[in-house]
Amino acid sequence: MKLLLVVPAKEERKERRLKGKAFQIPQLSLGILASLTPEDVEVDYVDENLEDINYEWGADLVAITVMTATAPRAYEIAQNFKKFGAKVVLGGIHPSILPYEALKYADSVVVGEAEYVWQQVIEDFKRKELKPIYYGKRVDSKDIISPKREIFKNKGYYFTSILQATRGCPYDCDFCSVSLFFGRSFRNRQIKDIIKEIEELNHPLIGFLDDNLIGNKKFAKKLFYELIPLKIRWLAQASLTIADDLELLRLAKRSGCAGLFIGIESISEGGLKEINKRYQKAKTLLEKIKRIQEEGILIEGSFIFGLDSDTPDVFDETLEFVFKSKMALASFGILTPYPGTKLQKRLIEENRIITYDWRLYDCGHAVFKPKNMTIEKLQEGLDYCWYQFYSYKNIFKRVFSLGYRFPLLGIPVLILNLSYKRMLFKTTDISSWFSQKNYGFIPETI
Ligand code: SF4
């Protein structure tokens, strides 16, 4: 039996795949499926962002991981494989929320986490008794296993030393799918398993792919303490609350934290309340960012536009904030009503969703009517922020300022900014996308 694990590209990226290669990282969830697959099954893995799919490889079963923005492409791939006689299973956040939509294109859908059902899927496939839907129960933290990394070898990734230490997030921001998929129960793996995995990775720079590595601060402190002897550098995503606990922040630094991706989202109190990010207060944002940076930890802040409280001034105000904060990197996006989220429910009720073309659900496109500006203004404002932040003038200003305070960080930050600039402006073309036709996927009732 031959099993192919597939990461679909967004259509546009498929055409321009090599340009954003440096930022592609392997899909650990598919590596976990590979780990769970019995030895007698031949397994291969293809990431369409990096290489073409070989439909003639002879796959008997194909498993595709699907996010909302890649769903239309995943459905196309699924149907292509069916023409070659393969059975197709879809999993990931999007099919878990909209399983009946996904089932129109595939033989089977895994809803939720796959660990406890994957072996059943394989057995059922072998007996030709594949069920339409498998409901994966929430995985106990002790059962979270390491991915089989051999499948990522020679696939063209630059950076593969990544892992997950936790699942879920204790918060419940109303635009976010994390709690929908993983629940609000924050689960952390056994520290000894995490350390073992890092030792096996044997790389000086590690990336944690957790949604919020410090979701449980007690656990995070223990983990950071155990990381100190490994003498690695690491990057992760964390909430700004790390700045509230100096012991945690200093342990993060001592254990090798080099940079944090932090979802700041909005710089206004009204905006933060609106998205239910109540643990963050607008008036303390700058002070907390400063506290983290003073420890020599770089920050990439992420911001979203299109909140009901946003007016056309939000773009300049946000830029002013990011420049003032001196953060090393920033990313900007448009509020996106992902299926199943509270945000989507509200916007449906208010009749403000303008398209269900899932390809546009990538935080780069306005898919709903904003309250205090036009759709065009929202789209233009987004592009404006990207261009301003990543203009050569601003990149060099930022790098000189950072390099002055932290001499060792100047060059890495310059490389990161230039790579980001190259990726952004060669792999996405935000405004031209918006004029694309609506492919008219109809959502299920949620
Ligand atoms: S803190 Fe981040 S991961 Fe957690 S719910 Fe909010 S947006 Fe999602």
pLDDT value of position 21: 65
Q: Where are the alpha helices (DSSP H) in 172-313?
A: 178-182, 191-201, 217-227, 246-254, 269-274, 285-294
Same fold, 2-139 and 161-432: no
Q: Which residue shows structure tokens 């099954």?
A: 41
CA-based nearest residue to 358, from 19, 102, 106 = 102
CATH architecture of the domain with residue range 161-432: Alpha-Beta Horseshoe (3.80)
Nearest CA owner, ligand 1 atom 3: 211
DSSP state of 276: T
CB of 178 closer than 6 angstroms to any ligand 1 atom: yes
User: Hey, which residues does 239 pair with through a beta bridge?
Assistant: none
CB distance 212 to ligand 1 below 6 Å: yes
**Ligand 1 atom closest to Cα of residue 172:** 5
Nearest to 118 by CA among 33, 185, 196: 33
263 lines ligand 1 (CB under 6 A): yes
Architecture in CATH of 2-139 = 3-Layer(aba) Sandwich (3.40)
CB of 211 shorter than 6 A to ligand 1:
yes
404, exposed or middle or buried, with CB in 10 Å at 0-12, 13-18, 19+? exposed
pLDDT of residue 20: 57
pLDDT for position 175: 92
**How crowded is residue 52: how many other Cβ atoms within 10 Å of its Cβ?**
9
**pLDDT tens profile 160-177:** 999 999 998 888 899 998
Best probe residue, ligand 1, of 239, 266, 335 (max atoms within 8 Å of C-beta): 239
d(CA 354, CA 91): 26
Quick one: which atom of ligand 1 is closest to the CA of 179?
A: 5
Model pTM above 0.75: yes
Q: What is the mean pLDDT of the chain?
A: 90
- Tell me if 417 CB under 6 Å of ligand 1: no
Find out whether the beta carbon of 174 lies less than 6 Å from any atom of ligand 1: no
172 touches ligand 1 (CB under 6 Å): yes
292 lines ligand 1 (CB under 6 A): no
**pLDDT, tens only, 425-441:** 664 444 443 333 333 33
Those residues whose C-beta lies under 8 Å from the C-beta of residue 301, and which sit 6 or more positions away, are 262, 264, 289, 322, 325, 327, 329, 330, 331
The string of DSSP letters for 379-430 reads HHHHHHHHHHHTSHHHHHHHHHHHHHH-GGGHHHHHHHHHHHHHHHHHH--H
Domain locations along the chain:
2-139, 161-432
* 89 CB within 6 A, ligand 1: no
The CA–CA distances, whole Å, from 256 to 203, 223, 233, 403 equal 13, 12, 4, 19
Atom number, ligand 1, closest to the C-alpha of residue 178: 8
The two structure tokens encoding residue 171: 């918060």
**Per-residue confidence (pLDDT) for residue 43, from 0 to 100:** 98
Residues of the chain with pLDDT under 70: 11-22, 425-446
The confidence score (pLDDT) of residue 416 equals 86
Q: Is the CB of 257 under 6 A from ligand 1?
A: no
Cα–Cα distance between 214 and 185 in angstroms, integer? 14
